[in-house]
Amino acid sequence: MKKKLLSAIKRRVGKKVWNKWFSTFEVLSISEKGTTFSVGNLFIKDWLEEKYGKAIKSAVKEVFGKDIEFKVVYKENPLTSEEEKKEKTFPKSFVKPPKDSNLNPDFTFSSFVVGSGNETAFKFAKKVAMEPGRFSPIFIYGGVGVGKTHLVQAIGNYTYSNKSEVDLIYLTSERFMNEMIKYLRENKMEKFREKYRNVDIFIVDDVQFLTGKNGVQFELFNTFNELMDKKKQLIFCSDRSPSDLKDFQDRLVSRFKMGIVIEMRLPDVETRKRIARKIAEREGGNLDEELLDFLAENIDGSLRELRGAIIKLIAYQEIEGKKVGIVEAINLVSSFLKKANAIDPGERLVSVLSGMFDTSPSMIRSRSRKANIVMARELGIFFARKYLKMTVRETAKFFGRSPSVISTTTRKVEEKIKDSPSMKSYLNKILAHISPAVGKFS
């Protein structure tokens, strides 16, 4: 049955596509109720669903004689499993945290880039790792994807590697709640308390999840007090400040406020660029610096999105077996890119050109015939017409030229581009800086 199904799909998509995209495609389970396929790569999963969903559907129909639901899931390839990859990149001194530690071994201090937005939190996290109990409690808050979890898990990983005598628990507040419920059901609250009230470092992530959950808050409050009495280290993370935790018991909130409260913010562009490099390194991919800078400049929200885009491009490069260029990247990760650009695209264009050709916006709009300026101007005119979709009239006004000059210049550049790699590369560079305002390049 499995074979039949696979060959029905193969027949539909053709051999070439099959070899290229379906190399890790397998039938995971098969039944009348539903069929599950697996692929060994997250990027392929999206791609297959998008492009070949119909073909798969009709193949399933052929084999079963009727429509049957199916889904494609991502399954790691055993040969390049996360664990093996990690082992290779770890420094020798790194001891992998035990499986039940809830820690992601990638989240270490050395893979954390320190920069604007996270410096203070980083300093304290380091301190906590070195001298647990010295600054307690610590409450770290900030929006999604600013690096809270990475940073506090780094404390955990550091402790497992370097201080085996220190007992540490890291968990999300949701996990804390589920554990509590489990122990409650089994009538073993004593055990629960024993477990959580006898640690040296206690880290609770995403405490905002406990909003309105009185019973768990109460238990956390008591855990808090007991650990504080014992001079242990407590750390909390949340997506909002203690004062903004609504539906939280006042006494718990006042405990959170008792110690050091640190806000983490999204880092600035320069820091994001360094983070992009770190993430790419961590994910074992080899993306061009230029591309990483482009991503850092144009994905300015959660660092999770930055990571998502990087992973997608790494996967793509791996599958295609060639480097991704910026233009291609724009299409692949367009959903992550900033939508609107606050600055007027025309102004942005001339400012980008000024940087590239070592001149100024006013020189580009002047009558100067200096070679670099003429080049900048011509590319600008072409770009304004083709990508910014400015009309001839608008372009003429913007560059201070007549409409007929605009038309001839546009045609001229169009011709030149056809067989000039350097012109193409200039265009790609401009696109890299401007594209989010422009939309897709196709």
Q: Among all chains, which residue has been given the structure tokens 């093996």?
A: 84
Q: Are strands 260-263 and 138-141 parallel, antiparallel or unpaired?
A: parallel
Q: Are strands 168-172 and 35-39 parallel, antiparallel or unpaired?
A: unpaired
The three-state DSSP-derived secondary structure of 141-207 is ECCCCCCHHHHHHHHHHHHHHHCCCCCEEEEEHHHHHHHHHHHHHCCCHHHHHHHHCCCCEEEEECH
Q: Which is nearer to ligand ADP, 278 or 401 (CB)?
A: 278
Residue 302 CB, shortest distance to ligand ADP, in Å, is 7
Residue 105 CB, shortest distance to Mg ion, in Å, is 16
Instruction: List residues near ligand ADP by CB under 6 A.
Output: 107, 111-113, 118, 142, 144-150, 275, 278-279, 303-304, 307
Peptide bond into 436 cis (omega under 30): no
What's the rounded Cα separation, in Å, for the pair 26 and 18?
12
CB neighbours (10 Å) of residue 386?
A: 16
Q: Is 101 in the site for Mg ion (CB under 5 A)?
A: no
Residue nearest to Mg ion (CB): 149
Q: Is 233 in the site for Mg ion (CB under 5 A)?
A: no
Residue 107 CB, shortest distance to ligand ADP, in Å, is 6
Q: Which is nearer to Mg ion, 266 or 326 (CB)?
A: 266
Q: Give the one entry of Mg ion, ligand ADP, none that residue 416 binds, where binding means its C-beta sits below a cut-off of 5 to 8 angstroms depending on kind.
A: none
Q: Give the one entry of Mg ion, ligand ADP, none that residue 269 binds, where binding means its C-beta sits below a cut-off of 5 to 8 angstroms depending on kind.
A: none
Residue 149 CB, shortest distance to Mg ion, in Å, is 3
Residue 126 CB, shortest distance to ligand ADP, in Å, is 13
Q: Which is nearer to Mg ion, 148 or 255 (CB)?
A: 148
Residue 143: phi and psi, rounded to 5, are -65, 180
* 3-state DSSP assignment of residue 139: strand
Identify which of 266, 207, 211, 269 has the alpha carbon closest to the alpha carbon of residue 234: 207
Is the separation of the CB atoms in 353 and 379 below 8 Å?
yes
Residue 205 CB, shortest distance to Mg ion, in Å, is 6
Pattern 141-160, Mg ion, x by CB under 5 A? -------xx-----------
Q: Which is nearer to Mg ion, 149 or 233 (CB)?
A: 149
For Mg ion, the binding residues (CB under 5 A) are 148-149
